[in-house]
Structure 1
């Protein structure tokens, strides 16, 4: 191999080495812009959370190398929520095509309810059965109740022990119609409205199906409404 050929190969090798060295530098130079996009996303998405919200953005792995990107699109991965330890995805919209996931921590400080006494299933929650506390909601069970109006008058679906955070998914609306209650069935149609008296055969909250035995002994099904009304389709 002559000197000229060796010199050309050496120049080519140096050029490739420089590009490989610069690649991670380009990715690190983009990190502030990427974090800024995540910060803007979190600021917008956490506005509707109850209480006072603070958040922090975790660091990416130092070994992470990303191709140059001119525009970032943050998103929330499917099945995730911005609550406690979470992850925000970031897509590069061009000229490269990659996706990365950034760890974040979202803390929400606000009011929540705890039970003041044991409440069995079927118990109707009263004003003295719950008390307001303040703390980090992101450390509490999902669906914790944050306002008394969301609990008072509701029926306990599963039992609560005293001092337990009250969860909305363990409460149901009160019965609109109760078994054995005298109800009025109403059937409306084009140009007519028919109503009759009957007796409910099961409990139902508003919007649920309830069966009614009419005065004639016939059993009909309808939708329970507040005030002992049952809507029967015709």
Structure 2
């Protein structure tokens, strides 16, 4: 049966093993794991200082580190395992809650629309930037990035905008509305615009007029 040795047993008299595992190596493996998990659950972790170092049988293969099964966040310990010797050791950790904001997960080019896989929460080291960051993904999903953004870029309100539903030189349906009448015609957009914005369009006779962009991609003009 696999032997589980908890940190609480460190104070027992040390057995006379022929060779013991280097405690510095155990700490190194544990710290590398903690660094790899930094911010993934909203917390940062570091090993808790212990007055006594554990003495375990030397492991003939690389140690494995993982969170103990069934732990709720924040984690309270990290589990080191030596399959060759059949032992596991639980090392206590200190957790600190991190400030998280949404960042890009891949290269986003100007004009691309943000989807769920394009953003993730990540910790911010510079607290002065925290107020500019966004935590609520509903404020970003479906929004268009204004410029090219490398992976890991913290997203701010100034970097996104509503996506264009009308684009330059695109044929559009124009509806001119007045008191008790509506006239439909074809036109050509002379710029890019999102729903609710205004765009100049050229009508069949060559005249350019300003129209309101509708959500369905059509444009409209309301006469007095």
TM-score (norm 2): 0.49
More helix by share: 1
Bigger RCO of structures 1 and 2 (CA < 8 A, at least 6 apart): 2
Per the normalisation by structure 1, the TM-score is: 0.47
